[in-house]
Structure 1
Amino acid sequence: MIIPAIDLIKGQVVRLHQGDFNLKRKYLHKPLFYIQKYIKQGARKIHIIDLDGAKNPNKKQIILLKNIFKNKLPQIQLGGGIRYKKDIDLIFNLTSKVQIILGSSIIQDFENVKKWFKLYNPYSIILALDIKINKNNQKIVFINGWQNRSNIIFEDIIEKFLYLGLKHVLCTDISRDGTFLGPNINLYTEIVKKYPEIFFQASGGISSLKDIINLKNSGVKHVIIGRAFLEKKFTIQEANLCWQKE
């Protein structure tokens, strides 16, 4: 599935360059404008990240999210600053059509996240693993809105969660994100082959319909697209058609 992305800072739609909060592009319209536009174009799911919450969990944009969820929406996958059970319960109380994206808490609070996999439906949880690949081809996970290096390897996290029923993983190559440099096809081909039981989502660098074709052929199940839609490189209709043809 093609999933359009909305990233939010202080109520404004933005895109970061390689995860750098100092290198952000601001977009003209309010979040709901883009969400409704994407729905009209055929989006069946929307990816929303509260970057304020990701950077500082005490600054989550709860009022903004509540106002967004008052509207008629397709399924949402929502992330940013989700650190505690009360955060998850708050979101599930806002809407039933939501999947929770967990990022930093996977690393910083592993024992509680394990409990959440048993408490909630594993299909309602997406692990977001944002990585930088070093010279030895090790996939190092970054946390807290990509501000901090964890020194933990991507595969180690996957192995820990597989037996808990892990189904959905969003993997972003930070070096490609917000760049239009194209996605890291080799990365996705490798992890899909290694973990065929997981529904992988690809994110970062997508700028053309050719990128979508290459990602479909890599075996990923979903593609998250932000800047390319915001800057009208192609439409959701075109992206969906391209995805379905492959």
Structure 2
Amino acid sequence: MIILPAIDIKDGNCVRLVKGDYGTAHKVAESYMDTAKSFEQAGSQWIHMVDLDGAKDASTANKEIFLDVAKNTRLKVEVGGGIRNLDTVEMYLSGGVSRVIIGSAAVKNPQLVKDAVKEYGDRIAVGIDAKNGYVATEGWLETSDVYFTELAKRMSDEGVKYIIFTDISKDGTLSGVNAVQLDEINKACSANIIASGGVHTIDDIITCRKLGLYGTICGKSLYQGTLDLKQALYEAANE
């Protein structure tokens, strides 16, 4: 299993939210580059980055930050937030980003996912964010009537190789991962599942590994010191 330490960007700053509420945004680091390099030094190969402004406004307001990390570290950069068309996908992938995440558009514009997978294959991931089991969109500000495993099956059938699943009720809460839903989505489709939301301690990493997930994203736990990245990387590799 791989570990993806996370940096969320809002207004150019490294922040974390609680349960996706933009009103809870608080700065967690002074420098995105210093933070990314600290992840690299700990031994991480990947970094998960989210454009919170982009997710809400369908923009690429913070694109230079993500391209900077891709260019000036050895980390493989996974980016999500505001990716609503092929031009944006192309911009990131040609700029050195390793994988892009299509979120809201997977529900509202499934043709984009089809076209992106056809063009870029396994460099495309789909983000499935759920509230009470139903997919939320537009930076988690809207909730659809699509159940999370239904969308996962649909995306997997379209050839999507990676799905990032977030239980919004867990995100930024340090309350532990939703093992039940993670197991459900992992068994519902053939895509590689990346867990996001709720990671608190090393026990959550072990839980995700035992579920047979492809990856786990760690954010607030790293910034608040309840999880050590080196230990997480070790446990994740201890298959």
If the length of structure 1 is used for normalisation, what is the TM-score?
Answer: 0.92
- Note the 1:94-113 alignment, pairs <5 A: 94-95=95-96, 97-113=97-113
Contact 1:60 1:80 in 2 (8 A): no
Aligned counterpart for 2:191 among listed residues 175, 184, 198: 198
**Structure 1 runs not aligned, ≥5 long:** 134-138
Q: Which residue of 2 aligns with 1:136?
A: none
Aligned counterpart for 1:146 among listed residues 115, 140, 148: 140
Q: Which residue of 1 aligns with 2:157?
A: 163
Structure 1 position 17, deviation (Å): 0.2
Contact 2:174 2:198 in 1 (8 A): yes
- Note the 1:1-246 alignment, pairs <5 A: 1-58=2-59, 60-95=61-96, 97-121=97-121, 123-133=122-132, 139-195=133-189, 197-246=190-239
The total of aligned residue pairs comes to 238
CA distance in structure 2 between the aligned counterparts of 1:67 and 1:191, rounded to whole angstroms: 33
Contact 1:143 1:149 in 2 (8 A): yes
Structure 1 position 66, deviation (Å): 3.5
* Aligned amino acid, residue 54 of structure 2: G
Taking a change above 3 Å as real, the CA distance of residues 59 and 76 of structure 1, as seen in their structure-2 partners, is closer
* Aligned amino acid, residue 229 of structure 2: I
Structure 1 position 59, deviation (Å): 5.2
Contact 1:188 1:219 in 2 (8 A): no
If the length of structure 2 is used for normalisation, what is the TM-score?
Answer: 0.94
Contact 2:152 2:185 in 1 (8 A): no
**Structure 2 runs not aligned, ≥5 long:** none
Contact 1:41 1:235 in 2 (8 A): no
Contact 2:40 2:75 in 1 (8 A): yes
Contact 2:69 2:77 in 1 (8 A): no
* Aligned amino acid, residue 28 of structure 1: A
The alignment's C-alpha RMSD in Å is 1.5
* Aligned amino acid, residue 3 of structure 1: L
Taking a change above 3 Å as real, the CA distance of residues 168 and 59 of structure 1, as seen in their structure-2 partners, is closer
CA distance in structure 1 between the aligned counterparts of 2:50 and 2:115, rounded to whole angstroms: 23
* Aligned amino acid, residue 224 of structure 1: I
Contact 1:192 1:200 in 2 (8 A): yes
Structure 1 range deviating more: 79-88 or 62-71: 62-71
Contact 2:192 2:213 in 1 (8 A): yes
CA distance in structure 2 between the aligned counterparts of 1:141 and 1:57, rounded to whole angstroms: 17
Structure 1 position 228, deviation (Å): 0.7
* Aligned amino acid, residue 132 of structure 1: K
CA distance in structure 2 between the aligned counterparts of 1:244 and 1:8, rounded to whole angstroms: 28
* Aligned amino acid, residue 125 of structure 1: I
Structure 1 position 244, deviation (Å): 2.5
Contact 2:70 2:77 in 1 (8 A): no
Q: Which has the larger radius of gyration?
A: 1
CA distance in structure 1 between the aligned counterparts of 2:51 and 2:74, rounded to whole angstroms: 17
Percent identity between the two aligned chains: 29
* Aligned amino acid, residue 3 of structure 2: I
What stretches of structure 1 move > 4 A for 4+ residues in a row?
A: none
